[in-house]
Structure 1
Amino acid sequence: MTDTLERPADIGAGRLDRFPTRLALLGGIAAFVSAGLIWVCRAGDPSVHYVSQLGATGMPTAPLFNFALLLLAVAAVLVERAAFARGDGYVAGWPVASTLLACGACFGVASVITCSPGCPVPFTSGALPQDLVHISFAVTGFVLAIVAMGQVAALRRRRWMRAASVVTLIAVGATSFTGAMIALFRGDTVLGGNLEFTAATLAITWFGVFGLQVAADHRRRER
């Protein structure tokens, strides 16, 4: 009788243990799909130079791009839930999960409040309030992604993940800053756009890789 009662409890506990693993795995896959969809959008309209322009009002690529951005927000939250389940497993100054949650929220807002046609730089001629809101949340989201990379790089575990986070952090920071300066000072838009797409792709790919790493950590914990 005791064995009969223990078995369902063990099965239930096993399912609960596997739940964070699945969340992290889904989050990682969602991030990779998001990156792929953004490049599909760009391939559909190569004339677009900057990432946010793909989701601007009236753009044929807007529905798919904004879905991809929303998917990235979902990916960040899924990985956040899985990382949160690790307790003190991912803490550098404060929980990495908190950074990911704020990051996901920013991308979620940016996917709903899009740029006006042409996606002008805020406070320039033709810019609307929605441009300021979209750009502010999108930029904040990527800054928080860089912060999360820095936190993971500071963790004393998984040397390869730390190294990957450091490399990605430097690459994303350098390319996004250079692209932003080019856009701000009306420089070479083709170069600036390519740098921005590169930075976005690297950041989103990092989310995917980190999600898979969190899933692997949970799976190892289950065993």
Structure 2
Amino acid sequence: MALATVGGTAAFLSAALIWVSRLWDPSVHYVSQLGATGMPTAPVFNFSLLLLGIAAVLVDRALLHRPLVYVAGWPIAGTLVVCGACFALASVVTCSPGCPVPFTPNALPQDLIHISAAVLGFVLAIVAMAQVSLLRRRPWMRAASLATLVAVGVTSLTGAMLALFRGDTVLGGNLEFTAATLAIAWFGVFGLQVARDEGTLTLPARAASSIPSSASTVAP
């Protein structure tokens, strides 16, 4: 229960720090640029990305206590631990100045590593949402996961298309930040839901252990 609670809280804190970085330098259009080498926002942003990775791993550890419940195709815990590792890697291997697209003239190997890790982590977050939306329990969590999945998919895809075809960079950046915020908020909500589920399991177990056995209540 504690692991999931800390993980969910860490995810919300991660989202808050990303927006602190964005407000610090509103001229930055895309998320990863906040953590690029030489950016004043880099320490805060990269810490927020590391915090997100830790959040995903903590929720993953909490899910291991209920291996047969949180499974959709394969254990959701497996998706989350790889997702968290990707975000942690992206927080350590940052973009070069300007965060150029990989394989362009100014790009460095670190740009390929960072962007690949960040994109894979984001994709795995979407996969986790899809898995939760397929679970048979917690109808509201299924509905929330599906709604977030659709919203994140639409906003991120639109933002990516704008960036790819040199469209409105301001709109594209806003959409990317929106998609990232929705995905991170989902992590927070899901973590707290897992913690609540753990609590509902623990209480009946404690109550049962406090009831004396029939053998002990029979007088000799």
TM over 0.5: yes
Q: Residues 121 and 184 of structure 1 are in contact (CA less than 8 Å); yes or no, is this contact kept in structure 2?
A: no
Aligned residue pairs total 203
**Which digits, 9 at most, give the CA deviation of each residue in 1:47-84, with x for residues without a partner?**
00000000000000000100000000000000000011
Match of 2:10 in 1: 30
Structure 1 outlier segments of 4+, above 2 Å: none
1:72 pairs with 2:52: yes
1:84 pairs with 2:81: no
Match of 2:198 in 1: 218
Match of 1:187 in 2: 167
Unaligned runs of 5+ in 1: 1-20
Q: Residues 49 and 193 of structure 1 are in contact (CA less than 8 Å); yes or no, is this contact kept in structure 2?
A: yes
Whichever of the two has the greater Rg, that structure is: 2
**Which digits, 9 at most, give the CA deviation of each residue in 1:98-126, with x for residues without a partner?**
00000000001000000011111112231
Select the residue among 37, 41, 45 that pairs with 1:57. 37
Unaligned runs of 5+ in 2: 204-220
Query: Aligned partners of 1:124 and 1:175: how far apart in 2?
Result: 25
Question: How much is the aligned-residue C-alpha RMSD, in angstroms?
Answer: 0.6
Query: Aligned partners of 1:70 and 1:189: how far apart in 2?
Result: 26
TM-score by length of 1: 0.90
**Which digits, 9 at most, give the CA deviation of each residue in 1:111-161, with x for residues without a partner?**
000001111111223111111111100000000000000000000000000
TM-score by length of 2: 0.91
**Which digits, 9 at most, give the CA deviation of each residue in 1:179-205, with x for residues without a partner?**
111112221110110000000000000
Match of 1:165 in 2: 145
Identity of aligned residues (%): 75
Q: Which has the larger helix fraction?
A: 1
- Greater mean deviation of Cα atoms: 206-215 or 171-180: 171-180
Query: Aligned partners of 1:28 and 1:172: how far apart in 2?
Result: 19
